[in-house]
Structure 1
Amino acid sequence: MEKKLKCWFETLGDKEKPDEFDAKQLVKLYSIKVPKGKRLGPKDELNIDDIKPPYVLKVCSSNILHKTELKGVLLNNDKECIQDNFKLMRARFPKENILVENQSTYRGPEFIIGIIKDPALGHAVMVGAGGVLTEIYKDTAFRLAPCSVNDAMDMIDELVLSPVFDDFRGISLDKRKLAQTISQVSTLADDLGDKLSQLDINPIVFSDGEWIALDVKVMFAEK
């Protein structure tokens, strides 16, 4: 893993802030699934031959953390409208990269998995109710990193949202796979050590039998 992490850092070049595409490549190293997609530079043409519809278009910049508020996300694009909407995103963000991805379909609540760094205790991993209402729900559980899969299972059980894993209204979610993902994120934090300041996977959703990280943010510690 050390060699893979070194290669990932080399892809960043001089960038001190990974963008969403960079962050997703990082979590993929830890077997965390992300939508298939590509990052297109300001002068790149739209190329979606190897990506299945529907598509999502996002501005991809480490300087833009709240994309939705700036109209930096366009959902439900099909092959007929993707080209026009790509041009629209280009007009809105002419100097930024654009991320085009397969748009995952899912049924059930969104979750968040995160890493925070405590000055005294080090990194802690968090899981909770995710999506745009994360700060309103405040339904979270924490453990120090790294944590085992069993620890992560206990974290999930602590959530107010935990009954949704018991076939709530016909929704079938794989709790153990989510726990494995939480444990993998905690290992990532432990491997990066003091380099990592914060990581957010929000939302992560259950789609086609797997947990998919739809958005990922990574922040390095200040030098």
Structure 2
Amino acid sequence: MRFLDRTPARPVLRWAFVALGLAAIVTGAVAAAAPFRAGLDYRRAYDCERTGGGCFGRERVTIVDLRTFVTVTRNEDGESRERVYEITWERPGGDRTVRRVSKKIFSVVARGRPADLRTWRGEVVGIEVEGVEQWFTPRTGWHLMGWLVLAWAGLGLVLWGLLVSWWDDLFMFAFRLFFWSFTGVMPMVMAMATVLYGLPTGGELALLLGILAVFTGLPAVALWGTFRTR
């Protein structure tokens, strides 16, 4: 193994990365404040709903269609297939919504049968059919995760500017930044889920930690590999 051919990075380039990274960190942190507070509000409503009920809005709808299909993703390792379950519900006013659901929900729905939606600030965050529930992540959760990932990417830029004194080319730099950003996705997903639903315990926590290790470790290994060549 040998290090890639590289040339010293100009100081102006390195400090530009630091400045850009700090801007991304500040932007991400400031922008994440509002969805973080909204996420805590959602958490209080969710906990209240699970213990006493009546803390989310409720809306009765009718299931008007359901379908299932298989999506195929092709990559270097071959094909991966995923079965998708979709239902369509209709509100009393006639508006229809198509939503992907779990196999568990799909197994109990039927055309023409009612379903109960859970709403929060005008957004559908859950559905109940025949006593079976499924919760959907509210938009505020995805906004929180997105801003946190931006701040994480900014940290990568700062570390590059402060600690790395060489440069090879723009493509490899962008490639490394992508892998660095990807190492932060699963931790931010867990942070988002903790804000919205609380920290899991027992076997669920162990499973999530295992998933975290895999989906953080793989891009980290790939990132390290971009610094070396055979």
Scaled by the length of structure 2, the TM-score of the pair is 0.24
Higher helix share: 2
Scaled by the length of structure 1, the TM-score of the pair is 0.24
